[in-house]
Amino acid sequence: MTNNKKDLNNKVDKIEKRETFSTSLAAFFATLGSAVGLGNIWKFPYLVGNNGGGAFVLIYIFCVFLIGIPVMLGEFYIGRKTKKNPVGAFKELRPSGPYRALGYMDVLAAFFIIFFYSAVAGWVYSYIFKIIRGDFSGLGSLSVGDASSLVENNFNLAVAGGFAPIFWQGLVLITVSLILIAGVKKGIERITKILMPLLFGLIIIVGIRALTLPGAREGLNFLFKPDFSKVNSTALLTALGLAFFKLSVGMGTMVVYSGYFTEDNNLIDTARKVAFSDTIVSLLAGIAIFPVVFSFGMEASSGPALLFNTIPLIFSKLAFGNILLLIFFLLTAFASTTAMISLIEVPVVFISEELNLDRKLAVLISTSIIFIVGILTVHPASYFGEVRIFNMNFFDLFDYISSNIMMPLGGLAVIILTSHIINKDEFKRELSNNNSLDNGSLIDLLIFVSKYITPLLLLIVFLNSIGLI
Ligand code: TRP
């Protein structure tokens, strides 16, 4: 056999061997599992709190429509068309030129995010253990001052407590590894199909409880009543970064997942449903949190500590507070686990396809790197002294570089590729499943937005974020 022929056979083999999700519904749950994560339950509420409430929510929803969904569809196109990891996908679509670098940036961005993400997921896992052990159960009877110092102490232990944070982060990584090793259908599909509906059910329970509290109206006003005096360029930039982070776009996750979609998957429909359901989960998290915050006269803008300090404190004041707290942290653990699966899947397919290694080995290599570098993030200060780069610790640095630089840049590159460089008919063919779907006008609208509006907004925001305008 000639070499060329061998190559071709290898290729056919690989594509045939590549697993897919069994149905469009399974693809939806998996993709939603990627989107729903710590972003909804940890980031969204505190960013809404810090940026003035309702107006920020509105800007965020605009960002989801005008930027998030178009970029997601760009990635869906690239992923389902090539059925490859980001590096392989861009190499196939643009064999020469700067686009080759984009795939590598995607893989690097995935690592950066996982470094801090797995640390926070570790804290969540450890809180479940603490809640079951009863660490927060006596709080209700203490004065607010005593209770809050106890809660803060608990958080400091979770973050800085010697070996503990490393143990919990390790446990998160082992859990995710086992799911990834099981594969696309038996691992990712099976787990997201169970966890996503469960998560919805649980968050609705906590939300209903919150709505029966005296501060419900104030909480809802804060979340939904826009006060535009609070809107500035930082809020806009933050909303955009959040939309990217939330929808898992700008760094290859959606390229990888859509490579597992079946040929009859209606891509526009999937993107729309995922974005919609994800936003609903974020709003439900806000509905579960703000009424409680206002009922107890706490600050809505308490920053990242909202989830780990404020929530245990205020939930402990409710009847059956401990059970609610357990439900809340369980659903957060589900959300962060399914999101982590999608994040780690990026380096896993990259390693297995580009270096031609077995999937199990690729999982092992990826999680080992994450575990070792992750130690820097889990607790930089206690192991390495307070190392600061650009006045940020490693945790904030990884978050900043990935959310504010790599993801907007990656998103911009994807949108320019799919709306300006790729042949328009080809793009249309993929999004209409070979013209079998009657969605031509929707695609035209998408192409218009992707061509003119999305890149312009992204460019403005990106230049602003690096300080040029
Ligand atoms: N979307 C997830 C969240 O909100 C996090 C996440 C998963 C992610 N995969 C991603 C973020 C890819 C950016 C890129 O928590």
SS (H, E, C) the chain: CCHHHHHHHHHHHHHHHCCCCCCHHHHHHHHHHHHCCHHHHHHHHHHHHHCCCHHHHHHHHHHHHHHHHHHHHHHHHHHHHHCCCHHHHHHHHCCCCCHHHHHHHHHHHHHHHHHHHHHHHHHHHHHHHHHHHCCCCCHHHCCHHHHHHHHHHHHHHHHHCCCHHHHHHHHHHHHHHHHHHHCHHHHHHHHHHHHHHHHHHHHHHHHHHHHCCCCHHHHHHHHHCCCHHHCCHHHHHHHHHHHHHHCCCCCCHHHHHHCCCCCCCCHHHHHHHHHHHHHHHHHHHHHHHHHHHHHCCCCCCCCCHHHHHHHHHHHCCCCCHHHHHHHHHHHHHHHHHHHHHHHHHHHHHHHHHHCCCCHHHHHHHHHHHHHHHHHHHHCHHHHHCCCCECCECHHHHHHHHHHHHHHHHHHHHHHHHHHHHCCHHHHHHHHCCCCCCCCHHHHHHHHHHHHHHHHHHHHHHHHHHCCCC
What atom in ligand 1 is closest to the CA of residue 335?
Answer: 15
Pocket test for ligand 1, best of 60, 342, 404 (most atoms within 8 A of CB): 342
Grade residue 361 by pLDDT with cuts at 50, 70 and 90.
very high
Pocket test for ligand 1, best of 120, 248, 344 (most atoms within 8 A of CB): 248
Grade residue 33 by pLDDT with cuts at 50, 70 and 90.
very high
38 CB under 6 A from ligand 1? yes
* Burial of residue 357, with CB atoms counted within 10 A of its CB: 0-12 exposed, 13-18 middle, 19 or more buried: middle
What atom in ligand 1 is closest to the CA of residue 250?
Answer: 14
pLDDT at 243 (0 to 100): 92
Assess whether pLDDT exceeds 50 at residue 63. Answer: yes
pLDDT at 387 (0 to 100): 56
Q: Residue 147 and residue 213: Cα distance in Å, rounded?
A: 21
Least confident of 135-149, 166-180, 349-363: 135-149
265 CB under 6 A from ligand 1? no
Grade residue 357 by pLDDT with cuts at 50, 70 and 90.
very high
What atom in ligand 1 is closest to the CA of residue 342?
Answer: 9
307 CB under 6 A from ligand 1? no
Distance 120 CA to ligand 1 centre (A): 13
Q: Residue 387 and residue 45: Cα distance in Å, rounded?
A: 29
Instruction: Name which residue sits closest to atom 6 of ligand 1, judged by CA.
Output: 248
pLDDT at 16 (0 to 100): 54
For residues 106-119, average pLDDT: 91
Distance 442 CA to ligand 1 centre (A): 26
Assess whether pLDDT exceeds 80 at residue 3. Answer: no
Least confident of 76-80, 130-134, 137-141, 244-248: 137-141
pLDDT at 2 (0 to 100): 53
Residue 399 phi, psi dihedral angles, 5° rounding:
-65, -50
pLDDT at 270 (0 to 100): 98
339 CB under 6 A from ligand 1? yes
Tokens in use for 420?
């300006």
245 CB under 6 A from ligand 1? yes
pLDDT at 52 (0 to 100): 84
343 CB under 6 A from ligand 1? yes
What's the mean per-residue pLDDT of the chain? 88
- Range ranked top by mean pLDDT from 161-170, 217-226, 397-406: 217-226
Instruction: Name which residue sits closest to atom 7 of ligand 1, judged by CA.
Output: 339
Assess whether pLDDT exceeds 80 at residue 153. Answer: no
274 CB under 6 A from ligand 1? no
Return the percentage of the chain with pLDDT > 90, whole number. Answer: 61
pLDDT at 384 (0 to 100): 47
Return the percentage of the chain with pLDDT > 70, whole number. Answer: 90
Distance 346 CA to ligand 1 centre (A): 12
What atom in ligand 1 is closest to the CA of residue 336?
Answer: 15
pLDDT at 160 (0 to 100): 65
Distance 392 CA to ligand 1 centre (A): 22
Assess whether pLDDT exceeds 60 at residue 14. Answer: no
Assess whether pLDDT exceeds 90 at residue 233. Answer: no
85 CB under 6 A from ligand 1? no
Distance 40 CA to ligand 1 centre (A): 10
Beta-carbon contacts of residue 383 (< 8 Å; ≥ 6 apart): 375, 376
Span between the terminal Cα atoms of the chain, in Å: 58
Assess whether pLDDT exceeds 90 at residue 28. Answer: yes
Grade residue 315 by pLDDT with cuts at 50, 70 and 90.
confident
pLDDT at 5 (0 to 100): 62
33 CB under 6 A from ligand 1? no
334 CB under 6 A from ligand 1? no
50 CB under 6 A from ligand 1? no
252 CB under 6 A from ligand 1? no
454 CB under 6 A from ligand 1? no
pLDDT at 268 (0 to 100): 98
> Tens of pLDDT along 77-104?
999 999 999 999 999 999 888 888 999 9
121 CB under 6 A from ligand 1? no
pLDDT at 377 (0 to 100): 66
pLDDT at 15 (0 to 100): 52
Q: Position 123: which residue type?
A: W
Distance 34 CA to ligand 1 centre (A): 6
Assess whether pLDDT exceeds 60 at residue 11. Answer: no
pTM: 0.91
